[in-house]
Amino acid sequence: MAAFLKRNANLIGVLLLLFSMLNVFLRFFGSWANFLTALLVQLWFAQAVYSYLVGGRVSIGPGGLGKDADPVWRGMLAGLAFFAYCVVFFLDFNP
């Protein structure tokens, strides 16, 4: 499974981007503050997942794990980022 994910990292990165764009267009088109907030939060976590898949530094905010860090911890951080990415699909950004 891990080999499949790493082999198709670019495809997965494009899919993460497309799903984020589709989500924010369908939910927030016209409400630009919510649109940009949801998009930026999703892309913030998507870049961590993509970085893990291509073997780069996995970072969320100011912290992260470099490419030389323990692979188990890197995978756990990428899993957390993917979970947060998925949660944002269902968050209500309306005040």
Contact 16, 46 (CB under 8 A): yes
Contact 41, 88 (CB under 8 A): yes
Other CB atoms closer than 10 Å to residue 70's CB: what's the count?
Answer: 9
- Of 88, 87, 92, whose CA–CA distance to 39 is shortest? 88
Question: Per-residue pLDDT tens for 6-27?
Answer: 889 999 999 999 999 999 898 8
Question: What pTM was estimated for this model as a whole?
Answer: 0.86
Question: Per-residue pLDDT tens for 41-84?
Answer: 999 999 999 999 999 999 988 888 998 999 999 999 999 999 99
